[in-house]
């Protein structure tokens, strides 16, 4: 139960592990948001035949949950993703029937203990946090024996030929392409003045693929000043990987928040083999040397040049990134959940 086929971090997590369960031969039912009330900014794929759209987000003006799919479907395990976005009070009214047929667990996406009492009205059989930062604050509110640490999954490794990808996407083959996409592009665009200075010595195109209004408005300010290619698209994971394969680097410039966070973007994109140049922030603080990190203009410039010239740091980072993707692949993480499920039965 949660987001599915949208551009939210919770949806990315659900899809990466859920599709692996299907591949492994498990039967899956997905209970997700009505199309008019999704968690995220856009739908990214057509729904599979096992998807039921049957509730609104918790902040919708007219909160609604259709109980029938939950009651009709047979399942042994009931997994809830990002509870705070779900209609908790409505779910509670049928939760005792769910508990009669299934073990229940919740995957915590919030970066701190919720201040909403509705969040705590469920008796879970297990609670999952992504890393030790999540485990630390979860222990402040829940019995330790319920808490389990399972990492956020990476998209499987999928590296393809750069020039073929550029030809397919009608992108130039004689330039270095720096890529930004989605709503996060609004932050990435803030680095364009720094990239402009690097362009003095390197032929660079900035490729921005987004339907985010703020990102597009900011991007258009640079038209005519620097080589900027703006494409208004909502990307499926397949099309996103086409763009990543065509690019020399992805810019991730998201600033820290007050609470614990993870970067679903990094986990989603790392398997493409495209180097990620990332701002040092809470989103990536728990990651090893799998990204080229920056905290000011000088370190940003060094990171970009390391990629464009494929210096030693670039090669070491890409090697670490590849090993990290294998370790935390969606299959391996999905298997960790299956092991947890078996322990609950």
Residues 176 and 199 in one domain: yes
Quick one: pLDDT at residue 275?
A: 98
Note whether residue 236 is domain-resident: yes
pTM: 0.92
| pLDDT of 199 above 90 | yes
Residues 307 and 333 in one domain: no
Write out the two tokens for 43. Answer: 């739908």
Percentage, residues of the chain above pLDDT 70: 100
Residues 224 and 296 in one domain: yes
Percentage, residues of the chain above pLDDT 90: 91
| pLDDT of 114 above 90 | yes
Note whether residue 302 is domain-resident: yes
List the beta bridge partners of residue 80: 106
Quick one: pLDDT at residue 58?
A: 93
Q: For the chain, what is the mean pLDDT? A: 95
Q: pLDDT tens digits for 85-99? A: 999 999 999 999 999
CA 341/CA 77 separation, integer angstroms:
7
CATH of the domain at 184: 3.40.50.2000
Domain extent for 182: 162-327
pLDDT category at 119 given cuts 50, 70, 90 is very high
Note whether residue 2 is domain-resident: no
pLDDT category at 42 given cuts 50, 70, 90 is confident
Quick one: pLDDT at residue 313?
A: 96
Residues 295 and 213 in one domain: yes
Q: Are 225 and 216 in contact (CB under 8 A)?
A: no
Residues 74 and 222 in one domain: no
Quick one: pLDDT at residue 300?
A: 97
| pLDDT of 41 above 90 | no
Quick one: pLDDT at residue 280?
A: 95
Residues 202 and 144 in one domain: no
CA distances for 110 relative to 56, 106, 138, angstroms: 18, 11, 10
Note whether residue 156 is domain-resident: no
Q: HEC profile for the chain? A: CCCCCECCHHHHHHHHHHHHHHHCCCCCCEEEECCCCCCCCCECCCCCCCEEEEECCCCCCCCCECCHHHHHCCCCEEEEECHHHCCHHHHHHHHHHHHHHCEEEEECCCCCCCCCHHHHCCCCCEEEECCHHHHHHHCCCCCHHHEEECCCCECCCCCCCHHHHHHHHCCCCCCEEEEEECCCHHHHHHHHHHHHHHCCCCCEEEEEECCCHHHHHHHHCCECCECEEEECCCCCHHHHHHHHHHCCEEEECCCCCCCCCCCHHHHHHHHHCCCEEEECCCCCCCCCCCCEEECCHHHHHHHHHHHHCCCHHHHHHHHHHHHHHHHCEHHHHHHHHHHHHHHHC
CA 193/CA 50 separation, integer angstroms:
46
Counting the structural domains of the chain, the total is 2
Residues 79 and 226 in one domain: no
Over residues 195-216, mean pLDDT = 94
Q: pLDDT tens digits for 261-309? A: 999 999 999 999 999 999 999 999 988 899 999 999 999 999 999 999 9
Q: pLDDT tens digits for 120-151? A: 999 999 999 999 999 999 999 999 999 999 99
Quick one: pLDDT at residue 288?
A: 82
Residues 106 and 128 in one domain: yes
Note whether residue 299 is domain-resident: yes
Note whether residue 120 is domain-resident: yes
Q: pLDDT tens digits for 216-274? A: 999 999 998 899 999 999 898 999 999 999 999 999 999 999 999 999 999 999 999 99
Residues 123 and 214 in one domain: no
Residues 80 and 167 in one domain: no
Residues 31 and 171 in one domain: no
Quick one: pLDDT at residue 65?
A: 97
| pLDDT of 39 above 90 | no
Note whether residue 175 is domain-resident: yes
Residues 242 and 266 in one domain: yes
Note whether residue 228 is domain-resident: yes
């Amino acid at each position: 139960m949660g987001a599915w086929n949208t551009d939210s971090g919770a949806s990315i997590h659900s899809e990466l592990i859920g599709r692996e369960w299907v591949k492994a031969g498990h039967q899956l039912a997905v209970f997700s948001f009505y199309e008019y009330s999704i968690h995220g900014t856009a739908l990214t794929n057509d729904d599979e035949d096992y998807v039921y759209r049957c509730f609104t987000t918790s902040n919708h003006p007219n909160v609604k949950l259709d109980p029938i799919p939950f009651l009709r479907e047979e399942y042994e395990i009931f997994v809830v993703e990002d509870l705070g976005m779900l209609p908790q009070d409505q779910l509670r009214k049928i939760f005792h029937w769910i508990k009669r047929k299934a073990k229940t667990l919740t995957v915590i996406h919030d970066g701190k203990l919720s201040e909403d009492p509705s969040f705590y009205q469920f008796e879970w059989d297990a609670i999952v946090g992504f890393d030790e930062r999540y485990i630390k604050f979860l222990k402040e509110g829940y019995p330790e024996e319920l808490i389990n640490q399972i990492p956020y999954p990476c998209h499987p490794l999928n590296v393809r030929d750069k020039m073929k990808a550029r030809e397919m996407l009608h992108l130039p083959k004689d330039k270095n392409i720096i890529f930004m996409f989605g709503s996060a592009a609004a932050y990435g665009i803030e680095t364009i003045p720094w990239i402009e200075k690097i362009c003095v010595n390197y032929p660079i195109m900035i490729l921005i693929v987004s339907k985010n209004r703020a990102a597009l408005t900011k991007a258009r300010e640079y038209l005519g000043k620097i080589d900027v290619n703006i494409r208004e698209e909502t990307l499926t994971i397949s099309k996103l990987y086409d763009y990543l394969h065509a690019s020399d680097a992805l810019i991730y410039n998201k600033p820290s928040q007050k609470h614990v966070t993870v970067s679903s973007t990094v986990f989603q994109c790392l398997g493409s083999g495209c180097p990620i140049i990332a701002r040092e922030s809470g989103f990536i603080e728990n990651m090893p040397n799998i990204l080229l990190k920056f905290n000011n203009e000088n370190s940003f410039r060094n990171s970009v040049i390391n990629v464009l010239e494929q210096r030693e740091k670039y090669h070491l980072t890409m090697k670490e990134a590849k090993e990290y993707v294998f370790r935390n692949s969606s299959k391996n993480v999905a298997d960790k959940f299956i092991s947890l499920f078996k322990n609950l039965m």
